[in-house]
Structure formats: C-alpha cells, structure tokens
Chains A and B, each alone.
Chain A
Amino acid sequence: MNLYDLFKKTADRYPENPAIIEGSRIVSYRVLDTIISGIAKDLEAKGVAPGQLIGLCFPNSIAYIAFTYAIWKLDAAVVPIDVELKENEIRQLRGQLPIAAKIDHKARDSGLITGKCPVIDTPYYYQTVNLLASCQTGIHIAFVRFTSGTTGERKGVVLSHERIFERIQSVNQVLQVTPDDNVLWILPMSHHFVSTIVLYLINGATIVLANGIWSRSILKTINREHVTLLYASPFHYSLLSADSSGQMIPMVRLAVSTTIGLPVEIHERFFRRFGLPLAQAYGIIEIGLVCINIENALKKPGSVGRVLPDYQIQIKNTKAYSESDGLQCGELFFSGPGFLDAYFHPWLKGKNALVNGWFETGDIGGMDEEGSLYLYGRKNNVINTAGIKVFPGEVETVLSKHPAVAESCVYGENHDRFGQIVAAKVVLDRTGERVSEEALQLFCGKTLAGYKVPKQIEFTEHIEKTVSTGKIRRSQ
C-alpha cells in the first residue's frame, strides 16, 4: 500500500474537485497530481530513492503537501522539520536519523505553480545506518516524526503507509469527511498531517489554507470558500470569538479543537458568538486521534469525548492519584489500530513499545459514567506549549552551559493562551558573574528554537528536585 496511490485513486475519481485552495489559487485533484508527479520525477533525478528518509523543512503551502506526496510516490519517507528549528537542532536530528536529503524552503522560491521544478539541497549523506532502507526494517515507512529531547528519550516516531491508513479509517468513522467538505487549514503541517491532510485528500475534500491569522480575514475565507470543517487550536478559536464584525459561519458543520486542552471559557465564548460548540479532540503522534467530543460537545465542554469505536482504553494505577471533579483518575493506556511501527532512535519495534498491546500515553485522566474522558495532566514533565512538545532536559542542558549558571530546573507553567509556557528556575554560580533574565534568554535562543527558550526565568537560591506544576500531584 502507498498513500500516494490512495490519493491518486481519489484524484481519478474526482479530478476536477478542488484539492487545495490557497488565496486565489485553486488546485484541483488532477492538477495536484500533475504537480506531485513532476516533483517526483525531479526528486528521482536528484537521487531520491525508495527507503530513504527525506527531510522536509517548509511552511504551510501547496508545496508542502505536493512534496510529501512526491516523496511517498518514490517510496521514500518524510521527516518533517519544523521551520523554527535552529541549525544545531537540525544537526542533532541529522545525527540521529540518517536523512538522505533535505528539502528546504530557504533554498529558493519553490515556484511550483509555474511548473518550475523545485530545487533541493545537494543530497548530503551520512554514515550509512543499517536501518536506512525500508526493506531492512521490514516497514514501508511513510513518516518519521522527530521530537528532540534529552538523552534516553526515544526519538523519531516511525509510521508506515498501512498504519496511517488504519488511523484515517478509524477517525473518519466519526469525522465523516466527504468530497462535499471544505476544511480550513491553519495549524503547522510539520506537526499535523497524518490524521488530517492525508485523511481529507483520501476522501476527496478540499483543503482551504488560511490566509493570514486575523479573525476578520479568516471568517471571510470561511464564508467565501464555504468551509464546513474547522480544525484549529483553542488560541485560534479564542481570536475568532473576539471578532466584532458580526459575520456568522452557517456552513460550518463541525469545529474541532486540538493541540492543547480547551479552556471551558473559550468554548463558551465561541458558542455565544457563533452558536456552534467546539469538539475537543485528543491525539498523540504514536497512536493517532483516539477521542473526539462530538456528541457531548455542548453538554461537556471540558471533555475530550468518548473513545473512538476502534480503540480501547484502560485507566491504570488509580491508587496513585486523587479524585478530580468527582472522577477517579489514573494513567491512560490505549490499544487499537494504526499505532506506531517503531521508534527510530534507538530502534524499537512498535509492538515492543507497547505493554501487552497497550500504549502508555503518560497522560492522567478520568472517565465519567457515560464514557466521556477528561484529561488532567501529564505523568512526566514534558511541556506542551501551544501543542508543541518541549523536553525540560534539553533546555536545562543549554542553560547549564552558561558560565554563570550553577543549576537549573525547567518546567511548564500553565498559561491561558499557550496551555503551558516554558519557565525556568536558575541557581547562579556564587563565584561567577551576574547575569540578567534577558541575557540568559538570548543565550538559549542561540541554540534553541524560540518556543523552547524559557519565557520566564526566576533566580533562586535552591532548587527542589521535583517540580510539579500539573493539577495532579502524584503520591510517593
């Protein structure tokens, strides 16, 4: 199976349906397929071959989607590289994943629509890693999603074409996307693609790329393009709710909120403004989208909803957690289709990453008597800032390199707009120089992507060894 072939089948069935709309450009399924094939030919001539990992560093665009499918057409795999990453972070990624070539938006203007072929960096090859070719892994890899982190963290979630297809089928039982749907796209494609873009394109829907970020222009786009489905973060819904233009969005049948927990207050404001409830979703890169609160969005805005029909849930180790809102909390485990094929670095087969077939999410939650799930925090200390994961250890390592810093502790501080922001406590070296918060931030910013730089730094005499910022306090 190849996700490109599934796209092609849809393209043959609905050739004149718009696949992507970006401003005044409308690319039909037929034209998108032509673009993809052109790029694939060009990439093949440049040496892209089956089984290779190809880095894709591109902002949201028609090009992003076309590159991804072109890489798949050649049976190579995509490694999304966030455009925010700094050089040394990309170097770290390259040290852990044997990326054969990187397609970089900074290399030049892609010039796709004019028919010009895109240019990729001269392929740079690293020491051959035995896992490079898919025939050697036994997995037909489509995606490797890299998450940078501390030593010991497994990096690179490997997803095959087959697993992605399973996910999409499971999710679409609930979303029910059809060729009549027009989906507004606003989230970064480097972080969201599998259960979204691929799903829409297999089902013949139209992806409408948001032009700009201001609510007035987004509402105009929603109405001009008859958008039926919204998929965005609480922040976007919060901005839309504040719009005073009076424009309504009568065509929208479903608005899904994702990336971070949806504050009930934003849900209420959005509903008051547009008369449409927000359906909160719960997804994890390793296992896909496993809950969406469609049925009870209005009645239970704080819930991520029921578990999708194809998945099972276990709530374990409940003795370690207190009740929250009258619900017994515990650690969440899931089983079901479309789970990860492997972690890339160090290599670990998907089934070995599961505990007797169950995936440990690291999330803490509880379920009410109707089966609606509520999330309350994380078991470990990964920081979720606007849907992007930051590993405290990585930031602490950078801080510790500053000569004035003796010790540091990085944690997530709850934040209304971001979900969490990166915060740090720093103990200064008594014998060393004085340093300001700004200077330390600047220091971190030299080697870390902006979203990882601590937004607030507190200087302290002493650091407690466990910092808990979640609502749930684990018992010892």
Chain B
Amino acid sequence: MQTKTSLDTIEAQLLDFVRCEIYDPCLGIEADTHLIEAGLDSFSLLKILVFIEKKFDLIIPEAEINEDRMRSVQHISQLIHELLESK
C-alpha cells in the first residue's frame, strides 16, 4: 500500500510539471497563478489530468474539473489531496 502523499509534496511535484511541460519557463508560474489567465487551453488541461493519473494513480472526476477546483496549482493540489485522502 502506498503511503499518503503530503499536500506540500503534491504541490511541489505538480508545480514542477506545470512549469516544465505546460508553460514557457520564462513565464514564472507560481502555485497561485491563475492558470486560465496564463493561457491554459484544453489540450494542456488534458496533459495535467494524465500527469495526475500517472503520478498519483488518480482519475479526477469530470464533476470536479471546473474553474473553482482547478483555478491554480494550489487549487488542483488541494483537490488531489482530498481525493487521495478519501480513497
């Protein structure tokens, strides 16, 4: 059984991925950056979802894929954390 991942670890890993794979590194994405305002499109969103699926063995339900839950890396990390806790 996998040990629970801490919120900080999730946020660090996700931020790392988003900085390297989704945005231009020079944009300086932070954990609280509004992802849509920074140019997130649906293809990038798919990449984030697949990353989460592979990294945390977690499929985010469609109902949670919305502006309130996925506004920033911080928000998404919180969501991942909650879903992992309730697993």
User: A residues touching B (Cβ–Cβ < 8 Å)?
Assistant: 59-60, 84, 106, 186, 188, 212-217, 233, 235-236, 238-239, 241-244, 386, 388, 415, 417-418, 421, 442, 445, 450-451, 453, 455-456
Contacts and interface: CB of A to CB of B under 8 A. Distances in A.
A385 to B, nearest CB: 9
Contacts of A235: 42, 46
Interface residues of B, number: 24
B43 A188 contact: yes
Contact of A450 (B21, B61, B65): B21
26 contacts: A59-B39, A60-B41, A84-B43, A106-B24, A188-B41, A188-B43, A213-B41, A213-B42, A213-B45, A214-B66, A233-B42, A235-B42, A235-B46, A239-B65, A241-B62, A242-B61, A243-B66, A244-B63, A386-B43, A417-B50, A418-B46, A421-B50, A445-B20, A453-B21, A455-B50, A456-B54
A212 B39 CA distance: 8
Give chain B's interface secondary structure class: helix
B30 interface: no
A421 B22 CA distance: 17
Contacts of A456: 54
Contacts of A60: 41
B49 interface: yes
Contact of B21 (A233, A244, A445): A445
Given A213-B40, A451-B47, A455-B54, 8 more contacts: A214-B65, A242-B63, A242-B65, A386-B43, A415-B50, A417-B49, A445-B21, A453-B21
B83 interface: no
Contacts of B22: 450
Contacts of B39: 59
B46 A417 contact: yes
B36 interface: yes
A214 B61 CA distance: 14
A451 B45 CA distance: 12
Interface of B: 20-22, 24, 36, 39-43, 45-47, 49-51, 54, 61-63, 65-67, 70
Which of B21, B39, B70 has the largest number of chain A CB atoms within 10 A? B21
Contacts of B50: 415, 417-418, 421, 455
B18 to A, nearest CB: 11
A415 B70 CA distance: 22
A167 to B, nearest CB: 24
Contacts of B51: 455
Q: Which 8 A-B pairs have the closest CB atoms?
A: A242-B62, A214-B67, A213-B42, A450-B21, A242-B63, A212-B36, A455-B50, A214-B66
Contacts of A59: 39, 41
Contacts of A238: 62
Contacts of B63: 242, 244
A25 B13 CA distance: 38
A442 B42 contact: no
B30 to A, nearest CB: 20
Contact of B62 (A217, A233, A239, A450): A239
A272 to B, nearest CB: 13
Contacts of B24: 106
A244 B22 CA distance: 28
Contact of A217 (B47, B61, B67, B70): B67
Contacts of A455: 50-51, 54
A306 B62 CA distance: 31
B20 A386 contact: no
A445 B54 CA distance: 16
Nearest to A211: B36
Contacts of B70: 214
Contacts of A214: 36, 65-67, 70
A421 B54 CA distance: 11
A138 B26 CA distance: 44
Contacts of A106: 24
Contacts of B45: 213
Contact of B42 (A186, A451, A453): A186
Contacts of A212: 36, 67
Contacts of B54: 455-456
